[in-house]
Amino acid sequence: SSELTQDPAVSVALGQTVRITCQGDSLRSYYASWFQQKPRQAPVLVIQGENNRPSGIPDRFSGSSSGNTASLTITGAQPEDEADYYCNSRDSSGNQRVFGGGTKLTVL
Amino acid sequence: QVHLVESGGGVVHPGKSLRLSCAASGFTFSTSGMHWVRQAPGKGLEWVAGISYDATKKDYADSVKGRFTISRDNSKNMFFVQMNSLRTDDTAVYYCAKGGLTDWGQGTLVTVSS
């Protein structure tokens, strides 16, 4: 399996833009998905594939990728965006999936 | 809408077995892959295993390979994981998720403790 690396914690001022990154060799071959998890709740998919938002996810969430790094950008962060964010992709073999360690986002 | 309900969690001694179930509704289960993902208390998400729509392909995380077995019953819209030789580090909330990890259940807690 391969690893995906995320910063443990990131903060953003209310209404500002924040980028959460995920690094890993397998990202050169596979897109990342992004999940939001609030305390005591199941994860929710926010970005899938190149930059696809499931129904109900606000358009302030977007995804991008370059080389071995995938990014989740929140443009105009809101208080309800405070949560843990996880990236996920396939490993280099394509058979297993792997999660990043998660990033705790604080909205100030 | 998609509805996934896990069951079968509980407290079990190290070395023992447990079988978790996931009841699916709101989508065409027989054409969708499925996954188990777990989260240890206070820790991050860990992918456990995935199965193709027809059960011909099954993949496992290295941490559970040889101990956990996943299966499905498309006639009953059910998805399972048989967990053997449980260890204390298997303690976690176990979530089932639809293919692509697009939808998740609320999870069931498994505690492995002596």
pLDDT tens digits along A42-89 = 999 999 988 999 999 999 999 999 999 999 999 999 999 999 999 999
User: Which residues neighbour B87 within 8 Å (Cβ) at sequence distance 6 or greater?
Assistant: B14, B112
Is A98's Cβ below 8 Å from some Cβ in B?
A: yes
pLDDT for residue A93: 85
Q: Inform me whether the pLDDT recorded for A1 exceeds 60.
A: no
pLDDT for residue A50: 86
Helix (DSSP H) and strand (DSSP E) numbers for chain B = 0, 10
At A6-19, the pLDDT tens digits run 999 999 999 999 99
Virtual CA dihedral for A59, A64, A69, A74, nearest 10 degrees? -20
Question: Which residue ranges in chain B fall short of pLDDT 50?
Answer: none
Whether residue B46 and residue A1 make contact (CB cut-off 8 A), yes or no, is: no
Identify residue A108 by its one-letter amino acid code.
Answer: L
Is A86's Cβ below 8 Å from some Cβ in B?
A: yes
> Checking phi first, is residue A56 left (phi over 0); if not, alpha (psi -120 to 50) or beta?
left
At B75-105, the pLDDT tens digits run 999 999 999 999 999 999 999 999 999 999 9
Nearest CA in chain B to A43: B104
Whether residue A42 and residue B107 make contact (CB cut-off 8 A), yes or no, is: yes
Contacts of A34 in chain B (CB under 8 A): none
pLDDT for residue B89: 97
pLDDT for residue A2: 58
pLDDT for residue B29: 97
